[in-house]
Structure formats: structure tokens, C-alpha cells
């Protein structure tokens, strides 16, 4: 902050030595998606950026709701579970939630059966992002790969098939992966 104001994109570009405003925009959007920044004055407000969770330390923990199981294999029915799970405070955001992984289709991303993931609620994703997807009412964790007339959900384990979504399927993105962890105490 400069004089209690957020910096402009031009000031960010000059301070960080970037060559274009597009680069600044890409970093700002990424930081927003990850929950580190938010816009105080809407999407087009001047000097509208603010740091999220300024008062929280990265070493403290917070709790997020465990909403149930997410398949890392064949899709399974989404479950509701009111349990709270400790996560690093840097992940505390009203749009974040925790799911427990069931299956091993994402082991090449080091996400194993029994692990937990933190996801941010989202309806869209960029190609290559790992998403929480609903396919015909069943939740799955996969890599999102949009194609010309369809969507593919790719596992990160060569023993699992690619899920091909076409216009006949009921498909929704419910979130994007932010973080994964496992509990060694159980």
C-alpha cells in the first residue's frame, strides 16, 4: 500500500520491472484465484486491490468444513459431513472447503487415497487445472482439459481412463484445487 492506497497496475509494473500490463493482470488474477488478493471496489475499480487475511499468520491454523468424499477414480456420490478440519490459516477463505480423497487416480500429483484437498468454489477453470467436477451428479477430482466440442477429465495415474464429457452429460465445475495434505496421525 502506498499512502493507504493500493498500487495501480502501472505502479506494480514499474516496481516489479514487468514489461506489460498484461503480465501484471495475469499475476493479479492468479493471486485473486488463490485467495491472496480481493477487489474492494468491484472488478473494474481503480486502486481496488486489497490483501486477504492480513491479520492471519501463515504459521497459525484455521478450520474449514469437510464437505465429504471426492473420488480420485470413478465418480462417486457427493456426501455432506459437518466435520471441521485444521488447515493453514493462509487457506482460510469463505469460498474454500475440504474434501477427503477416495481412490488413487491422482497419485502422479502426489494425491493419494485418504488425503485431504482444499478447493476454492469456482464454476470455471483454466485448462490443466485440477478441478472438483460433478459429472451426472457424482463428484470427481481430475485435471480439466477442454476440447473443441467436449471436455475431458484426465487422471494423473496411467491405469485410470480419461473421462470424456459430451453435451449429453450433466457437467459442472464446483471448485479448483488449492492444496492437498495427509494426516499421519490416523
164 forms beta bridges with: 152
Active site residues per annotation: 105, 142
The set of cell numbers assigned to 46 is 481503480
Within 8 A by CB and 6+ apart from 44, the residues are none
Read off the C-alpha cell for 168: 449429453
User: CA-to-CA distance for 152 and 163, rounded, in angstroms?
Assistant: 6
DSSP string, 65-116: EEEEEEESSS-EE------EEEEEGGG--TTEEEEEEESSTTGGGT--TT-E
Euclidean distance between CA atoms 69 and 66, whole angstroms? 8
Q: DSSP code of 182?
A: -
Amino acid at each position: 500500500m502506498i499512502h493507504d492506497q493500493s498500487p495501480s497496475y502501472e505502479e506494480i509494473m514499474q516496481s516489479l520491472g514487468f514489461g506489460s500490463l498484461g503480465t501484471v493482470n495475469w499475476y493479479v488474477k492468479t493471486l485473486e484465484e488463490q485467495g491472496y488478493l480481493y477487489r474492494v471496489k468491484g472488478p473494474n475499480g481503480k486502486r481496488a486491490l486489497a490483501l486477504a487475511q492480513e491479520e492471519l499468520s501463515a504459521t497459525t491454523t484455521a478450520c474449514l468444513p469437510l464437505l465429504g468424499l471426492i473420488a480420485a477414480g470413478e465418480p462417486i456420490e457427493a456426501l455432506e459431513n459437518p466435520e471441521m478440519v485444521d488447515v493453514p490459516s493462509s487457506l482460510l477463505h469463505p469460498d474454500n472447503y475440504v474434501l477427503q480423497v477416495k481412490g488413487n487416480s491422482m497419485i502422479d500429483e502426489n494425491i493419494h487415497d485418504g488425503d485431504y484437498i482444499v478447493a476454492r468454489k469456482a464454476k470455471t477453470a483454466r485448462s490443466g487445472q485440477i478441478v472438483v467436477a460433478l459429472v451426472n451428479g457424482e463428484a470427481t477430482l481430475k485435471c480439466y482439459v477442454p476440447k473443441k466440442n467436449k471436455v475431458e477429465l484426465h487422471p494423473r495415474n496411467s491405469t485410470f481412463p480419461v473421462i470424456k464429457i459430451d453435451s449429453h452429460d450433466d457437467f459442472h465445475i464446483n471448485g479448483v484445487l488449492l492444496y492437498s495434505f495427509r494426516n499421519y496421525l490416523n
